[in-house]
Amino acid sequence: MNESHSASYAAAGVNIEAGYEGVRLMRKHVERTMIPGVVSDIGGFGGLFAPDLAGMIEPVLVSGTDGVGTKQRIAQLLDKHDTVGIDCVAMCVNDIICCGAKPLFFLDYIAIGKNEAEKVATLVSGVAEGCCQAGCALIGGETAEHPGVMAPDDYDLAGFSVGLVDKPRIIDHNTMRPGDVILALPSSGIHSNGYSLVRKVFDVEHADLGVYSDELGMTLGEALLTPTKIYVKPVLRCMEAVTVKGVSHITGGGFFENIPRCLPEGLGARIRLDAVKTPPIFTMLQSAGSIPQRDMFNTFNMGVGMTVVVSPEDADAAIAALDCGAYVIGEIEKSEERVVLC
C-alpha cells in the first residue's frame, strides 16, 4: 500500500491518492503493449527501452510528438474517453513512419482538471490500443491535476514516440521522378485535425450528437469521434515489398501543406479529384459550413490519411503489400506548383 498522502494538497484540489489508483487501474492496459526491448515497469522516473540493433549499419532514432487537439472536446461532450488515446498515438507514429522508422515506444501526458482514476485509466486504455496497433510499447507517462486552471471535466492529452531506422533505409525523396505514382491510403474520417472548424460548423456545444444520420450510417458524434487510422504496419510492409520514394501524413494543412513535405524541389503532385474517395462526413461538413473546395483540401484529409509515392511499375505490388484499400490518386510531375488539384 502506498502511504503517501497530503491533506493540505487535497485541500488545494489535488488528490494524489486518485493518481495512485489511476496507475493501478491502467496497469492492465499498459501490459498489453509490452514488446521485446522493454526494460522498465510503469511508475519509475523514466521509461527504459533496449532496442535490438542487430544487422543495422547506422541506427538512427526518430521522434514525434503531438496531441489530440480540440477533438477531445467531442469526447468530453459524449463522455466517451476510450478512443482519443488512439488518436494521440496515431498523430505521433504516423509522422515517424514517413521517414521509414518503426516506432519503438510511446509516452503520454494527461493534464486534467480533476483526477478521476477511472477516467484517466480509460484515456490510457485508448493510448494502449493505439500502441498495440502501431506495434510499440507504452513505457511511461504523466498525469497532472490542474485545479483552478482547468475545469474539473476538462483534460488535455498529448504524447510522444521514438522510433528507429537504419540510415541506409531512410526514405530517399531524391529518388522521385516525374511519372511516379501517388497512392492514397484511406482515412477513417476527419482524424484529428481541423476540429476547431468542425466544432464551429456543427455547433457541437448545442447540437444533438446522438441523432442517427442515414447519410453517415452512424450518429454525428460517432463520426466525429472515429479514431485516427494508424498506418505503421501497412507502410512497413510496403517498404519491404518495393522502393518507397515518399510518404506524407495528411494532417493539419491538408494536401497543400503535407504532400510537398516529401517532394524534392522542381517536382509537384498532380491529384485527380475524381479519383479521391471522400467519406460523407466531409461532404456534410462542406455543405453545412459553405466551405470552398480549396479550403477543404487545405484543412482536412478528405478521405486520404496518408500518401505513398512509388514507381509506376511498383504500384500494384505496393497496393497489395499495403493491404489497406490503397489506390492511385495522381502522379508526380515536373512543376514549380507543388500541388495541383485537377
- State how far the Cα of 119 lies from the Cα of 98, in Å rounded to an integer: 32
Number of folded domains that form the chain: 2
The residue among 136, 169, 202 that closes a domain is 169
Residues 131 and 178 in one domain: no
- State how far the Cα of 126 lies from the Cα of 325, in Å rounded to an integer: 24
Residues 263 and 152 in one domain: no
Residues 99 and 190 in one domain: no
The residue among 151, 169, 187 that closes a domain is 169
Domain membership of residue 335 (yes or no) is: yes
Q: Give residue 24's pLDDT.
A: 83
Bridge partners (DSSP) of residue 161 are 64, 106
Residue 3 binned pLDDT confidence (cut-offs 50, 70, 90): low
Give the pLDDT confidence of 233-277 residue by residue, as tens digits. Answer: 999 999 999 999 999 999 999 999 999 999 999 999 999 999 999
Give the pLDDT confidence of 109-118 residue by residue, as tens digits. Answer: 999 999 999 9
Residues 304 and 187 in one domain: yes
Residues 103 and 148 in one domain: yes
What pTM was estimated for this model as a whole? Answer: 0.95
Domain membership of residue 225 (yes or no) is: yes
**Mapping DSSP to helix (H, G, I), strand (E, B) and coil, where does residue 327 land?**
strand
In total, the chain counts a number of residues equal to 342
Domain membership of residue 84 (yes or no) is: yes
Mean pLDDT of 33-39: 95
Residues 39 and 183 in one domain: no
Residue 4: all three cell numbers together:
503517501
- Check whether 43 has a pLDDT greater than 90: no
Average pLDDT over all residues of the chain: 95
Residue 152: all three cell numbers together:
474539473
Report which of residues 140 and 13 the model is more confident about: 140
Q: Give residue 23's pLDDT.
A: 79
| Residue span of the structural domain in which 154 resides | 7-46+57-169
Residues 267 and 329 in one domain: yes
Domain membership of residue 1 (yes or no) is: no
Residue 4 binned pLDDT confidence (cut-offs 50, 70, 90): low
The residue among 169, 188, 217 that closes a domain is 169
Q: Give residue 42's pLDDT.
A: 77
For residue 117, the domain's CATH number is 3.30.1330.10
